[in-house]
């Protein structure tokens, strides 16, 4: 895996908490990028509890781009540990950014002001290429772009991402908001014939709609479901103290499962499109969330710079697909059932589905197309 983008359609779907949880559960080194254009600083103020003073972030990456300095070096300089050791010692809330196996969890902080995000457009193509290059160093990149506006996800990220995940809940309000966002994402992906990199992450299921109903309606497959576990989610949203049972909570188990299903989805897509497998495959065996407070080994860089120049161009697989070489996952299959990922049982939900479809047919939230 290399580049994964996460976004949301409506308020409070839990995209940032899900992104932090996935980053802390990831089975190899990962950089989480806070790219929310609203400049909410949700990770610094939430998971890290404001305990990490920093002037670092995407604004300095933009300055490096303006000065034509290597972005791989800028990203390495601007990342911080995705944990605060002093806060962890006093509150028991955070987990260490480094593990005994040498993998690390790092954060690239976001924009200080929304105006910074508005001027960041020219930086995205080169920065997205830099993110892809990190795969050769055994580092994945998880980008949280926050709540989508009319422009959708930055096009360069859509073009180069292995997977673009829209996070939504399974209630009518969330699905209605996601409908327009899914239309926009499909339009963006079609620009390069790359629609098969779209997927959904559900926060909770059968509340009241099941994954098959949602995938049919939105014409995008459900990759995984993360448990709607409010108490445990506070660990990742607000840096709350972890209970002794946290590692066995529904949220922890679902995050482990989600990392496996995301990896499987990416590998299937790469196989269909004939893309080379990454040199560093993430392990798929479950990994405990009880992460020890180990530091990187002496002399080991937490974030090695990504390959640059000729070496990167020779080894990094392309993320821009100019022609559709495999079946799209964006809609229902030829048999009428959408691809919804592994281990996804059908749910009847007939009354709920009827209400949802009736609401859509009435013209509410319609995107001008009929799906499912």
Reported as a single tens digit per residue, the pLDDT across 116-168 is 999 999 999 999 999 999 988 999 999 999 999 888 999 999 999 999 999 99
Residue 367 lies in a domain: no
Which pLDDT score is estimated for 13? 74
Backbone torsions φ then ψ of 221, nearest 5 degrees: -70, 150
For residue 208, is the peptide bond before it cis, meaning its omega torsion is within 30 degrees of 0?
yes
CATH of the domain at 338: 3.40.50.300
Q: Do the domain assignments include residue 372?
A: no
pLDDT of residue 92: 37
Region of residue 281 (phi > 0: left; psi between -120 and 50: alpha; otherwise: beta): beta
In this prediction the pTM is 0.74
In a domain, 197, yes or no: yes
Domain membership of residue 35 as a residue range = 3-361
Q: Where are the alpha helices (DSSP H) in 92-171?
A: 114-118, 124-133, 155-160
List the strands of the sheet with 198-203, edge to edge. Answer: 80-81, 105-108, 29-34, 139-147, 3-8, 163-169, 198-203, 222-226
304, part of any domain: yes
φ, ψ of residue 104 in degrees (nearest 5):
-140, 160
**How far apart, in whole angstroms, are the C-alpha atoms of residue 295 and residue 100?**
8
Nearest to 9 by CA among 150, 186, 194, 120: 150
Provide the number of structural domains found in the chain.
Answer: 1
- Which are the contacts of 298, defined by CB distance < 8 A and separation ≥ 6? none
pLDDT less than 70: residues of the chain: 1, 84-101, 192-195, 276-372
Residue 368 lies in a domain: no
Sign of CA dihedral 187, 59, 40, 319: positive
Is 23 within the bounds of a domain?
yes
Is residue 68 a part of any domain in this protein?
A: yes
- For residue 369, is it within any domain? no
């Amino acid at each position: 895996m290399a580049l994964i983008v996460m976004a949301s359609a409506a308020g409070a779907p839990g995209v940032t908490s899900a992104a932090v949880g996935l980053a802390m559960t990831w089975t190899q080194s990962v950089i989480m990028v806070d790219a929310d254009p609203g400049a909410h600083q949700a990770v610094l103020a939430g998971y890290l509890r404001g305990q990490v003073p920093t002037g670092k972030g995407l604004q300095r990456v933009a300055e490096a781009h303006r000065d034509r300095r290597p972005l791989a070096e800028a990203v390495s300089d601007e990342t911080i540990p995705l944990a605060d050791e002093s806060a962890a010692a006093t509150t028991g809330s955070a987990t260490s950014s480094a593990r005994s196996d040498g993998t690390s969890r790092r954060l690239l902080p976001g924009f200080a002001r929304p105006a910074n995000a508005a001027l960041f457009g020219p930086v995205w193509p080169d920065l997205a290429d830099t993110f892809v290059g990190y795969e050769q160093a055994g580092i994945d990149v998880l980008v949280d772009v926050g709540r989508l506006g009319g422009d959708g996800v930055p096009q360069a990220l859509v073009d180069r991402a292995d997977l673009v995940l829209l996070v939504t809940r399974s209630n009518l309000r969330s699905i209605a908001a996601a409908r327009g966002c899914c239309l926009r994402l499909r339009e963006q992906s079609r620009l390069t014939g790359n629609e098969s990199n779209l997927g959904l992450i559900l926060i909770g299921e059968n509340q009241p709609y099941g994954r098959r109903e949602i995938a049919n309606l939105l014409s995008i497959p459900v990759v995984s479901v993360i448990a709607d576990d409010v108490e445990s989610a506070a660990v990742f949203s607000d840096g709350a103290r972890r209970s002794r049972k946290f590692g066995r909570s529904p949220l922890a188990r679902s995050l482990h499962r989600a990392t496996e299903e995301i990896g499987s989805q990416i590998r299937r897509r790469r196989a269909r499109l004939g893309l080379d497998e990454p040199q560093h495959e993430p392990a798929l065996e479950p990994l405990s969330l009880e992460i020890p407070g180990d530091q990187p080994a002496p002399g080991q860089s937490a974030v090695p710079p990504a390959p640059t120049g000729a070496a990167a161009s020779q080894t990094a697989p392309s993320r821009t697909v100019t022609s559709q070489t495999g079946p799209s996952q964006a809609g229902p299959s030829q048999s009428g059932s959408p691809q919804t990922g592994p281990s996804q049982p059908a749910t009847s939900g007939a009354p709920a589905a009827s209400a949802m479809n009736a609401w859509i047919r009435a013209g509410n939230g319609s995107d001008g197309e009929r799906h499912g």
